[in-house]
Amino acid sequence: MRQDSFSDAGFEKYRKKTRKDQFSEEMETIIPWQELAEAIGPFCPKPEGAGRRPIGIERMLRIRFIQRGFNLSDPAAEEARYDSHSLRQFVGIDLGREPVPDETTICKFRHLMEKHNLGDQLLHLVNQYLQENGLKVSRGTIVDASIISAPSSSKNKKKEREPDMHSTRKGNQWYFGMKAHIGVDSRTRLIHSVAATPANVDDSQVLPDLLHGEETRVWGDSAYTGQKHAMTDCAPQARDFTQAKGSRNRKLTETERAKKRNMSRVRAKVEHQFGIIKRQFGFFQGSIPRSGKKCSSTVVGLCAE
């Protein structure tokens, strides 16, 4: 795909492995690039007549992963590849032979993926690839949801708020936006299911979309209390380990306290994934997938448009 440079040959004696290098190595290990490119291929327009050489679906997909992995805008994603040798090496671009794809090309590819909701299919392929290579989903699922706030102003071109978003109150604070619901494997911490709804939708209503059906245990906070029937319909063998709602007038025994502590240790794993989505992928504000369908783990950031 690319021609080795002098730095690739080992002339950089004191080179340090950076975060970008680690990102590239991990993505090469866990992402089946060829399979993902083949899944996107049918939706890409075919080149007609004479013109410039096509950039390639895999290259654009790698650029998209960089953009989501480092929370870059379209112009910033273009500039980052001029600045960073590691990112150019990851994409397979040699500046001695060709320029990097410009921000307009990146924008068009991003809109293509959004239009055809390709995140669902990519997630399925990635999870299937991980399972084939030993990272299997176990029989326990942790469910949780988090509000992804967005600007509530109507000072935009349409002079209106986004119709798919809604206001909700958490404690004494009001938020406007959507809500991300995820199902996380209790052993591997792999996000196997994602759904998005307006922020005012109750967490428990999305529970069926977050289970893969083979669970023997389901963990969740008190928002999922009383959903035993919905849980049984989706996962007949699942035991309910969701947190019971507390009562100020009832004191817990030491056994009950120990049980709640153990359940909290398991449920805490889902917060790690929200930390990555919010901090690394930058979803403190912005939009997320508008469908209520299942999405994936490794490409959650890619799906979260």
Q: For residue range 153-181, what is the model confidence (pLDDT) as tens digits? A: 777 777 777 778 888 888 888 888 888 89
- Cα(177)–Cα(187) distance, rounded to whole angstroms? 31
Write down the pLDDT at residue 53.
67
**With a cut of 70, which residues of the chain have pLDDT below it?**
1-12, 47-53, 134-137, 280-305
Query: pLDDT for 53-71, tens place per residue?
Result: 678 899 999 998 888 778 7
240, β-bridge pairs: 218
Question: For the chain, how many residues are written?
Answer: 305
- Cα(80)–Cα(102) distance, rounded to whole angstroms? 11
Q: Which of 302, 137, 294, 135 is nearest to 215 (CA)?
A: 137
Write down the pLDDT at residue 304.
44
Residues 67 and 114 sit within 8 Å (Cβ to Cβ): no
Write down the pLDDT at residue 301.
47
Residue 157 buriedness (CB in 10 A; 0-12 / 13-18 / 19+) = exposed
Residue 180 buriedness (CB in 10 A; 0-12 / 13-18 / 19+) = buried
- Cα(272)–Cα(278) distance, rounded to whole angstroms? 10
Write down the pLDDT at residue 280.
66
Write down the pLDDT at residue 143.
92
Structural fold of domain 137-303 = Nucleotidyltransferase; domain 5 (3.30.420)
- Cα(215)–Cα(239) distance, rounded to whole angstroms? 8
Q: Structural domain boundaries of the chain? A: 19-115, 137-303
User: From the CA atom positions of the chain, what is the Rg in Å?
Assistant: 22
